[in-house]
Amino acid sequence: MKKFFMFLAVAGLMTFTANIASAQDEQAAPAATEQVAADEPVTDLFAGSGEEVPLHQALKTKFIEGGAGFMSLVLICLILGLALAIERILYLSFSKTNTTKLLDKVEAALKKGGVEEAKKVCRETRGPVASIFYQGLLRADQGVDVVEKTIVSYGSVQMSLMEKGLGWISLFIAIAPSLGFLGTVIGMIQAFDAIQAAGDISPNVVAGGMKVALITTVGGLIVAVILQLFYNYILSKIDTLTIDMEDASIRFVDTMVKYNK
């Protein structure tokens, strides 16, 4: 439930930020219109004026030119993918544990108060490593072999929890360029329909459909690249945590062997 609320909070924050940016653009539009009306002569804002267009304004213009239908779907893929990626990054960041310090605490607790004291230390420590240690301590009275098997089994469970949601991110990585290519095909169809209606192959007739086709393709590829970067970063964090878990588990088994002796 906490992860679900975290996901909703991230998605809501991104939507709220987008709404603020849109509202600022709408407030700035009348002032910009009055300024253009006062100046003479009026020139094209995007070409030939020598003035730089803000990045967000240019993106907004291209988004509208690419067609609200497919570009909205691509934008939804980006928002959902980023929300999932940020949620995973936060989860993995909170899962990071100083394994050396935790092992020292567990070993000291075993010497001081036995297994129950060590369980208390694990309960008060967040992260998958502490959870694995706790599961091993629950079966400390059944022998080291059982403890080792428990650690291996519960380690797989923690791996699955860390990788939760990655399938959806990879899905959005695949869907975004596919939607872009679909928009490209539809744009080409529109271009050929315009040629057939006009009975001419002039550049002006073809330009509209070709422009829509290229913008949707670029949008889908950009979304896929952004999500792929986040996806690879998450995988690298999971690999780091996995190595820490495996190393800590081996040292924990050694600690249990010493305790039993």
Amino acid 92: pLDDT: 92
Token readout for 96 is 């990071």
Could you list the pLDDT tens digit for every one of the 261 residues in the chain? Answer: 445 445 555 555 555 444 444 444 444 444 433 443 344 343 343 444 445 666 556 655 655 555 666 778 888 999 999 999 999 999 999 888 888 899 889 988 888 888 888 889 988 888 899 999 999 888 888 888 888 898 988 988 898 899 998 999 999 999 988 888 887 777 777 777 777 777 766 666 666 666 666 778 888 899 999 999 999 999 999 999 999 898 988 898 888 888 777
Contact 142, 115 (CB under 8 A): no
For tokens 């991104």, the residue is: 14
Amino acid 234: pLDDT: 95
Round to whole Å and give the CA distance between 51 and 35: 14
Token readout for 222 is 């950009």
pTM for the full model? 0.70
DSSP secondary structure of 44-81: -SSSSS-PPPPHHHHHHHHHHHT-HHHHHHHHHHHHHH
Neighbours of 235 (CB within 10 A): 13
Coil, helix or strand at residue 136: helix
| Radius of gyration (C-alpha) of the chain in whole angstroms | 28
Q: Output DSSP code: residue 124.
A: T
The one-letter code for the residue type at 30 is P
* Domain locations in the chain as residue ranges: 1-65, 69-261
Contact 63, 76 (CB under 8 A): no
